[in-house]
Amino acid sequence: MTHTTASRTDVCIVGAGPAGALLADTLAAAGHDVVVLEAGPRFDPEDRIAQMERSIRPGDSDHGVWEMGGPRDAYTSSGENFYPLNHARVKGVGGSTLHWQGMVMRLHESDFAATGPDGGEWPIDYDELRPYYASAEKELGVAGSVDNPFAPPRDEPYPMPAFAPSHSDSIFAEACEALEITTHSVGNARNSEAYDGRSQCVGYGTCNPVCPSGAKYSADTTIEKAEAKGVRVIAEAPVQRLETTASGERVEAAVYAKNGRTYRQEARQFILAAGGVEIPRLLLLSASDDHPDGLANSSGVVGRYFMEHLFAGMGGVLPRRETRQNHIGFNTTESHQFYDTDDPDIAPIKLEFLNYAGPSPVEMAMDAAEYGDELLETLQDSYGHELGIGALVGQAPRKENYIGLDTAKTDDHGKPVPDVHWRVGERERRTLARANEIQRAVMDELGVDIRWTVGPENTGPTYHHMGTTRMGTNPETSVVDARMRTHDVANLTIASSSVFVTAGAMNPTLTIAALTLRAADFVSESLKQT
């Protein structure tokens, strides 16, 4: 196979996930020539039904649907807590939105005012991002309602009405009312009605790992719009390093691998949109005489302050069969009542009521040994008893949590793999315990026989990679400025949750999208001035 590199272009974007897709479409609409380099393949939307069927077969895994694993995706985890990096990564056109849960909400005003233990703080506030949040909701297609009394202020309705509370949400509502816990709808990047050429949600219930109907937003649809505007997307082209000019002040080319050879893509502006692990890895791999500790790393904090959202939860069975467990595959009710707290020892908590707790009838049938009437009887007796409740807990930024390079292990191109150093701190453990207290009160009110608990000792990540190229005004303690341009390199911008200064406890994709649209304006302005 032959491959011809594109000529020098206005913008080279690394990564074709939600950030890269929005950048490409927005910048092309502004009249700029854009090339996107994506490490993974282009998946055919026509295969989604087959992918869904594979995902629910016994013995298959969710992430196996998206072909993750092997030397290309090798990593190590040498921190105190093991980090299963590949469990929820996707490399491909569309990125993480190919398999994400699809929940989207804005960070609270308090999140932008929060500081880390080292004093790091956001150089922007909520009001500065507010119009971009509205634009991001339109781009992704968000179904929601203004019924959340704890949400930050907004000026416009959601693009689509919220999904109605599920049947299991109505069961939780009884207990929450008794306990004076206020519940409200969830913002979802999936269609409650036909929107932007995509169908209304038809309820496959397999949202993670795959939405066969296309009702859930996936960034490959934005890539298609960008390509119609002239954007060139080169898939299966992992970038190996960024090369700078002789002065070291600007990026000159992205060197990428394709079909067993390497190529150079030159551009006036470069934007990294490959996520909170691969971005710092690429910067560290781009070390040179002018940038001996890695590109854009004069501060020494590239890869540092890695943050996650931690999961707390519990589930069990009701004595009566009425939960309709796993009837839909996404959340429709939450509570942000415990998010903004005056207690410095407790981090933000986002309480989630899980519609997908317990196996679905299809999963139960596929795992069963019986057939026919015997199977029907088993399903009638066993299905509909399970309930689950979850929570996201914010993690504080700490320098000792970081993404580094493991020089003893290499990928399929001979490059050092990412090494995740991660541990859960005492503040997070206290917050997880507090979340479990709230959850247990709800379950006890319902009379649930609790069968499983995830808390301080067995928590895990929700795979939201944040903080590894943090924003800031001080070049000695941050990687990018308020415009998301690196302090050290004039034509290099980073659009990712890697620029987050604090984590909050909200799913990050809507904030990524809002920051990305804002960064696109700055990049476009810079191109027009030069």
Given pLDDT bands bounded at 50, 70 and 90, which one contains residue 327? confident
Q: What is the DSSP letter of 348?
A: -
pLDDT surpasses 60 at 62:
no
Same domain, 58 and 202: yes
Query: Do residue 28 and residue 161 come from a single domain?
Result: no
Local confidence band at 369 (pLDDT 50, 70, 90 cut-offs): confident
What global pTM score does this model have?
0.95
End-to-end CA distance of the chain: 37
| Same-domain pairing of 135 and 155 | no
Write out 35-80 in H/E/C secondary structure: EEECCCCCCCHHHHHHHHHHHCCCCCCCHHHHCCCCHHHCCEECCC
Distance between alpha carbon 89 and the CA centroid of its chain, in Å? 9
121, β-bridge pairs:
115
Residue 512 lies in a domain: yes
Identify the band that residue 60 occupies on the pLDDT scale cut at 50, 70 and 90: low
User: What's residue 61's pLDDT?
Assistant: 57
Same domain, yes or no, for 218 and 357? Answer: no
Q: Is residue 15 part of a domain?
A: yes
Q: Is residue 1 part of a domain?
A: yes
With tokens 């013995």, the residue in question is 59
Q: Is the pLDDT of residue 379 over 90?
A: no
Looking at the domain assignment, is residue 76 inside a domain?
no
What is the length of the chain? 530
Q: Which pLDDT score, from 0 to 100, does residue 63 have?
A: 57
Residues 6+ apart with CB under 8 A from 131: none
Q: Could you say which of 440, 460, 480 is where a domain stops?
A: 460
| Same-domain pairing of 249 and 125 | yes
Tell how far CA 146 is from the center of its chain: 23
Higher pLDDT, 60 or 17: 17
Instruction: Verify that 437 and 528 share a domain, yes or no.
Output: no
**Mean pLDDT, residues 381-404 taken together:** 92
| Torsion sign, CA atoms 483, 272, 98, 384 | negative
Q: Is residue 46 part of a domain?
A: yes
Do 65 and 22 belong together in one domain? yes
167-178 vs 426-446: helix crossing angle, rounded to 10: 100
Q: Which residues pair with 391 in a beta bridge?
A: 312, 351
* 470-479: average pLDDT: 96
pLDDT at 328 over 70: yes
Q: What is the C-alpha to C-alpha distance for residues 486 and 474, in angstroms, rounded to an integer?
A: 11
Last residue of a domain, which of 439, 460, 481?
A: 460
Q: What is the pLDDT of residues 150-164, one digit of tens each?
A: 999 999 999 999 999
Average pLDDT over residues 513-527: 97
Is the Cβ–Cβ distance between 332 and 352 less than 8 Å?
no
Do 217 and 96 reside in the same domain of the chain? yes
Specify the CATH number for the domain of residue 270: 3.50.50.60
469 in the same domain as 455: no
Arithmetic mean of pLDDT over the chain = 94
Kindly report, residue by residue over 188-247, the tens digit of the pLDDT: 999 999 999 999 999 888 888 899 999 999 999 999 999 999 999 999 999 999 999 999
Q: Which domain holds residue 445?
A: 150-186+309-394+423-460
- DSSP for 227-289 reads HHTT-EEE-S--EEEEEE-TTSSSEEEEEEEETTEEEEEEEEEEEE-SHHHHHHHHHHHT--S
Residue 21 pLDDT exceeds 90: yes
Q: What pLDDT was estimated at residue 433?
A: 98
Number of C-beta neighbours around residue 105 at 10 A: 25
Tokens representing residue 522 in the block: 């700055």
Residues 156 and 61 in one domain: no
> Could you tell me if 232 and 341 lie in one domain?
no
Q: Are 218 and 21 in contact (CB under 8 A)?
A: no
**Structural domains of the chain, count:** 2
Q: Is residue 136 part of a domain?
A: yes
Q: Is residue 415 part of a domain?
A: no
Question: Which candidate, 227, 228, 229, 205, places its Cα nearest to that of 216?
Answer: 205
Within a domain: 266? yes
Q: What is the CATH number of the domain that holds 330?
A: 3.30.410
- Count of alpha carbons within 13 angstroms of residue 522, beta-carbon side: 21
**Residue 242 has what pLDDT?**
98
Same domain, 263 and 296: yes
> Which of the listed residues 415, 443, 460 is the one where a domain comes to its end?
460
